[in-house]
Chains A and B, each alone.
Chain A
Amino acid sequence: MPRVVPLLCVLAVVIAVWFAASVPMNWSQAQALADDNASWTDIAAATQSLDRPLLPTPAQVAGNMVTTLVGYPITSPRSLLHHALVTTWESLFGFVISLAAGIVLAIGIVHVRTLDRALMPWLVASQAIPVLAIAPMVVVVLGNIGLTGVLPKALIAGWLSFFPIATGMVKGLRSSDVMQRDLLHTYNATTAQVFAKLRWPASMSFLFPAMKVAAPLALVGAIVAELPTGAQAGLGARLLTGSYYGLTLQIWSALLMAALLATLAIGLVDAAQAVLVRCRGGRL
């Protein structure tokens, strides 16, 4: 319980400051819309319920989220749930691709010396490169050869989450104790047995933190990949159309939805980790 109290206090302060800031931020717009003889309390009240406020209040954003989440059928392009599901599917697809590819590459790097020497420096260097910049080009090029829809976005999402998983797994597969590896060696264990009994179990304590970094990255990749296709579906599309038409409430609720999805993704990785810890008798 004591861990939660400071968190809640800080959250309450953030929301209070947000409410307070919405008054001066929206003041001039509310004043322009108000009657000439409106008192300043009327204007202050009006700042809380503008159609396209410069800074929507938390209550407005929450209200907009609820109406767009449950107010429309899920197939309707007005439903936030529809867009959130599109983005979730894209990033999940990409995440699974990158998980498989990252683990396979890490296994290769750990076992094949040539791969290690040739690829590892590039994997490390790739963390300094803004890989997200290639997103528009990949989407446009793939669209050009007839690949549209989920796959291009999933590829960007996967590409982005691939690097943390690959580097994390390389570290993890190497994290086993030298003594234990030597012990298995004295047992005349094969490489496959060392992998299955020692390297793979030891790597889990690196895989889960890597997944916690990679899962939100997949989400970012999917959202950004939705931008160049002319905003058809997904949270990125909601952000872009909101930005075109000045629909601030739509932007904020899409943003909050993305934040919720990221939190959910991290929570799911945590839950999977907890399950694994329990299966292994309290250790990761």
Chain B
Amino acid sequence: MLLVLSLLMGGVALVLLARGDAAPRRIATPIVFGLLVLWLWQLACVGYHVPFVLLPPPSDIGVAIATHLPMLAADFRQTVLRSVIPGWLIGSGAGLLAAIALDGSPFLRRGVLPLGSLVSAMPIVGIAPIMVMWFGFDWQSKAAVVVAMTFFPMLVNAGAGLVQTGAMEADLMRTYAAGYRTTLLKLRLPSALPFVFNALKLNATLALIGAIVAEFFGTPIVGMGFRISTEAARLDLGVVWAEIFVAAAVGTLSFALLSLLERAVTFWHPSYH
């Protein structure tokens, strides 16, 4: 009864909210929708006595987050600070450098970039067992998986970005008698930045996925992927949902931070005017 009532009320509220075009309404609509989903989830779980091992209600997930804070922090340190961030930096950095190195030779670019875009579509997480064999069980092997996963998207995107320069701008640089290095630094790299940021954002999610999935293949007894797989097997779903919440929060936050940074660095780009 309560369920139907809140569904109706929430639905009406959403329809009314979605009518307007003002900015607060545009922001409020998805938030109200999210809250409605949470509320219905809670009501359905409690009202229909959904077994805890099937779907814990949001309140229990909140309790699990609060009671397991130290453990969540340790997993976060192991997975995000030790595997994801170094791997993401190394992989994206190497991809960018490789794209710049390839840039000098059209022959190499035509050979490597199509292969790179094919490899970025491959299930690269599968190399996790090989990396565990090469680099051991600890975070080094996870960081290696992240490097392999983030390298190719950056290579392909930066490679595409570096050839985006308009002919007019290139001609202008030539009239300034600018050499290859100056043109690269002052014109072509800046104009490739939107592509680089695109890859950085894509890679942020890929890096999280890579590190978490790599931990399914063996890890010391800490880490978000380890916790998710073992606690799921023990049917302690509150902890699993808590870890998923942390992973989602890290993904969204890094995406938001990168978007802010992009806006600050590529303020000149037409899409911000």
B232 and A136 contact, CB distance less than 8 A: yes
B123 and A137 contact, CB distance less than 8 A: no
B204 and A128 contact, CB distance less than 8 A: yes
What mask results when residues 193 to 228 of chain B are scored 1 for a CB within 8 Å of chain A, else 0?
000000001001100110011001110000011001
Known A-B contacts A114-B14, A116-B18, A129-B248; the reply to A246 vs B133 at CB < 8 A is yes
What mask results when residues 237 to 266 of chain A are scored 1 for a CB within 8 Å of chain B, else 0?
001101100101001101100110011001
B232 and A228 contact, CB distance less than 8 A: yes
What's the Cα separation between A116 and B251 when bound, in Å? 23
A240 in complex: contacting residue of B112, B209, B212, B217, CB < 8 Å: B217
B252 and A125 contact, CB distance less than 8 A: yes
Residue on B with the closest CB to A118?
B33
A134 and B244 contact, CB distance less than 8 A: yes
Residue on A with the closest CB to B258?
A128
A129 in complex: contacting residue of B130, B133, B247, CB < 8 Å: B247
B205 in complex: contacting residue of A119, A128, A136, A236, CB < 8 Å: A128
Interface segment among A138-146, A174-182, A191-199: the answer is: A138-146
Q: Which residues in window 239-258 of B have CB below 8 A to A?
A: 240-241, 243-244, 247-248, 251-252, 254-256
Interface segment among A6-14, A36-44, A78-86: the answer is: A6-14
What's the Cα separation between A235 and B127 when bound, in Å? 12
CB-defined contacts of A239 to chain B, threshold 8 Å:
126, 128-129, 217
Q: Which residues in window 1-31 of B have CB below 8 A to A?
A: 14-15, 17-19, 25-26, 29-30
CB-defined contacts of A280 to chain B, threshold 8 Å:
none
B125 and A128 contact, CB distance less than 8 A: no
Indicate whether A283 reaches chain B with its CB closer than 8 angstroms.
no
B18 in complex: contacting residue of A117, A128, A129, CB < 8 Å: A117
What's the Cα separation between A243 and B232 when bound, in Å? 21
Question: Could you say which of A54, A114, A122, A128 has the most chain B C-beta atoms within 10 Å of its C-beta?
Answer: A128
Residue on A with the closest CB to B202?
A127
A130 and B127 contact, CB distance less than 8 A: no
Indicate whether A92 reaches chain B with its CB closer than 8 angstroms.
no
A117 and B30 contact, CB distance less than 8 A: yes
A262 in complex: contacting residue of B114, B121, B128, B244, CB < 8 Å: B121
Known A-B contacts A118-B30, A122-B30, A255-B127; the reply to A6 vs B233 at CB < 8 A is no
B133 and A136 contact, CB distance less than 8 A: no
B209 and A117 contact, CB distance less than 8 A: no
Indicate whether A216 reaches chain B with its CB closer than 8 angstroms.
yes
A258 and B228 contact, CB distance less than 8 A: no
Known A-B contacts A114-B15, A128-B205, A130-B209; the reply to A258 vs B122 at CB < 8 A is yes
Indicate whether B53 reaches chain A with its CB closer than 8 angstroms.
yes
Indicate whether B154 reaches chain A with its CB closer than 8 angstroms.
no
Question: Could you say which of B54, B108, B110, B254 has the most chain A C-beta atoms within 10 Å of its C-beta?
Answer: B110
Indicate whether B94 reaches chain A with its CB closer than 8 angstroms.
no
Indicate whether A133 reaches chain B with its CB closer than 8 angstroms.
yes
A6 and B108 contact, CB distance less than 8 A: yes
A243 and B235 contact, CB distance less than 8 A: no
B110 in complex: contacting residue of A3, A130, A254, A258, CB < 8 Å: A3
What's the Cα separation between A137 and B52 when bound, in Å? 13
Indicate whether A220 reaches chain B with its CB closer than 8 angstroms.
yes
Residue on A with the closest CB to B28?
A117
What mask results when residues 103 to 123 of chain B are scored 1 for a CB within 8 Å of chain A, else 0?
000011011101100100111
Question: Could you say which of B115, B126, B209, B232 has the most chain A C-beta atoms within 10 Å of its C-beta?
Answer: B126
A251 and B212 contact, CB distance less than 8 A: no
What's the Cα separation between A208 and B110 when bound, in Å? 23
Indicate whether B62 reaches chain A with its CB closer than 8 angstroms.
no
Indicate whether B134 reaches chain A with its CB closer than 8 angstroms.
yes
Residue on B with the closest CB to A255?
B126
Indicate whether B42 reaches chain A with its CB closer than 8 angstroms.
no
Could you give 17 example pairs across A and B, Cβ below 8 Å? A3-B110, A114-B18, A114-B29, A117-B29, A125-B252, A129-B247, A133-B208, A133-B209, A136-B240, A137-B244, A140-B235, A141-B237, A228-B216, A228-B232, A243-B217, A246-B133, A258-B123
Spell out A's residues near B (CB within 8 Å): 3, 6-11, 54, 113-114, 116-122, 125, 127-130, 132-134, 136-137, 139-141, 144-145, 212-213, 216, 219-220, 223-224, 227-228, 235-236, 239-240, 242-243, 246, 248, 251-252, 254-255, 258-259, 262-263, 266
4 further contact pairs, Cβ within 8 A, besides A239-B126, A243-B132, A246-B133: A136-B232, A136-B233, A145-B54, A240-B217
